[in-house]
Amino acid sequence: MAFKAFGIISSADNTVHVEGLHDYRPIGAFSFLGRFRVIDFPMSNMSNSDIDRVQVYVRSRPRSIAEHVGSGRHYNINSKRGRVQLLFSENSSSRSIYNNDINAYKENLDIIQRMHQEYVIIAPSYMVYKQDYRILLDTHISSGADITLLYQKVDNARDYFKNCHAITLNKQKGVESIEKNMGTANNKNIFMETYVMKKDTFVQLVKDASWTSSIYTLADIVNIKCKDMDVRAVQHKGYFATITSLEDYYNASMELLDYEVASDLFRPNWPIYTRTTDSCPTQYYETADVKGSFVSNGCQIEGSIENSVIGRSVVVKPGAVIKNSIVMAYATIEEGVHIENAVVDKWAHIIHAKEIKGEPDHPQYIKRQDTL
């Protein structure tokens, strides 16, 4: 079936910076729940929704995203009829205020205009949720709206959803405004940075935004257009996480350690695809003690793990204790090391620091390839 929409996977705003992890890769390439990367979720949503033309926007450090997304074949996207394009914004540095989504779209506007599909679905590479975009598109078309947004009601917006937008709605689910979540209240409608509209509307918004201000984002221009365009919102229910700060990232993983929550996100009829690394199963030794955790393949586990997410090929030596933590691929935790409330980046080797302890609301971050 030739689907009516093409997909755009957007890159996070230049005001978003996730402590530590973000220094090495864009958020889409962050490891998530051991064997996934954050971008696997929007990519799988697109693929499962029969969208086989997807543009992935990459703002900086493209290596990890380019390697991971590749041809898109592992996302079940055929390579002739379908296509995954990686598009870069090359005209400004990653931290520049000009390096935002509108400028990235403007640089690639000819490519966008050449797409055959009538509609575009834009989803962020830095949020995790499950959504059938076919349903969203049907809702959008039958409502006659100009733009349809996706949002979720949350009750913890003071502490989480940092750097995200919140929307205000009128009684008819019409969007009145889109503004940054400043943590002023717990109950908010968090905007999932997901848009459905006609391609022509999108192109016009990109042009309007850049005429109005060089630093306007797509959310900024839609906020302004709320007054004279029909902008509506659809409520999403189920697991939703934003990866826009270290705390949000950590919390997103900890929530999924409840198997019921995880099985809501991972349904057999809605597979989450990723690139395989062909690692072998994990070896649990006689001394291993593992509880309440997700463990990826290729690990060697001799120590204790509780309530944690363990990435691929992690080595946990006897006597090591990992609690309430995220340990990414290829890290080695040596004998007698105690890690609690921490995010340990890839290839880290922890030998000498016997105690690494963060706070539940502020995890300790250990750098990539660091030896401690």
Partner 1 sequence: MAQNEMLAMILAGGRGSRLKDLTTKVAKPAVFYGGKYRIIDFPLSNCANSDIDVVGVLTQYESVLLNSYVAQDGRWGLDSKDSGVYVLTPREKADEGLDVYRGTADAISQNIDFIDTYDPEYLLILSGDHIYKMNYAQMLDYHKQMKADATIAVRPVPLKEASRFGIMNTDGHGKIVEFEEKPANPKSNLASMGIYIFSWKLLRKMLVEDMKNPNSSHDFGKDIIPRMLGENRGLFAYEFKGYWKDVGTIDSLWEANMDLLDPKNPLNLNDPSWLIYTEDVSTLPAYIGKEAKINKAYITQGVRVEGSVTNSVLFTGAVVEKGAQVIDSVLMPGVVVEEGAVLTRALVAEDVRVGQNVKIGSKDSEGIELVAKNVKGGTK
Give me the residues that bind partner 1 (CB under 8 A), please.
33-35, 73-74, 259, 262, 266, 271-274, 276, 278-286, 288-298, 300, 305, 309-310, 313
- In the complex, least distance from residue 313 CB atom to partner 1, rounded to whole angstroms: 8
- In the complex, least distance from residue 220 CB atom to partner 1, rounded to whole angstroms: 37
Kindly tell me which of 120 and 272 has the beta carbon lying closer to partner 1: 272
- In the complex, least distance from residue 242 CB atom to partner 1, rounded to whole angstroms: 21
Kindly tell me which of 202 and 294 has the beta carbon lying closer to partner 1: 294
CA distance 359 to 237: 29
Q: For the CA atoms of the chain, what is the radius of gyration?
A: 21
- In the complex, least distance from residue 54 CB atom to partner 1, rounded to whole angstroms: 18
Residue of 153, 163, 219 whose CA lies nearest to 186: 153
For residues 325 and 345, is the Cβ–Cβ distance under 8 A? no
Kindly tell me which of 92 and 297 has the beta carbon lying closer to partner 1: 297
Residue of 306, 307, 343 whose CA lies nearest to 328: 343
Kindly tell me which of 2 and 280 has the beta carbon lying closer to partner 1: 280
Kindly tell me which of 31 and 100 has the beta carbon lying closer to partner 1: 31
User: Phi and psi of 317, rounded to 5°?
Assistant: -80, 165
Kindly tell me which of 88 and 270 has the beta carbon lying closer to partner 1: 270
Kindly tell me which of 211 and 259 has the beta carbon lying closer to partner 1: 259
- In the complex, least distance from residue 173 CB atom to partner 1, rounded to whole angstroms: 34
- In the complex, least distance from residue 201 CB atom to partner 1, rounded to whole angstroms: 34
The number of beta carbons lying within 10 Å of the beta carbon of residue 98 is 13
Q: Is 256 helix (H, G, I), strand (E, B) or coil?
A: helix
Task: Decide the pairing of beta strands 231-235 and 147-154.
Answer: parallel
- In the complex, least distance from residue 315 CB atom to partner 1, rounded to whole angstroms: 10
End-to-end alpha-carbon separation of the chain, Å?
53
- In the complex, least distance from residue 246 CB atom to partner 1, rounded to whole angstroms: 21
CA distance 177 to 100: 20
Kindly tell me which of 23 and 258 has the beta carbon lying closer to partner 1: 258
CA distance 74 to 14: 29
- Which positions ≥6 away from 37 have C-beta within 8 Å? 28, 29, 30, 31, 68, 274
CA distance 241 to 300: 30
Cα angle for residues 133, 15, 250 (degrees, 5° grid): 70
Handedness of CA 325, 329, 335, 337 (dihedral sign): negative
Kindly tell me which of 21 and 272 has the beta carbon lying closer to partner 1: 272
- Tokens 């949002």, residue located: 151
Kindly report the three-state secondary structure assignment for every residue of 141-170.
Answer: HHHCCCEEEEEEEECCCCCCCCCCEEEEEC
The number of beta carbons lying within 10 Å of the beta carbon of residue 355 is 10
- In the complex, least distance from residue 16 CB atom to partner 1, rounded to whole angstroms: 27
Kindly tell me which of 153 and 267 has the beta carbon lying closer to partner 1: 267
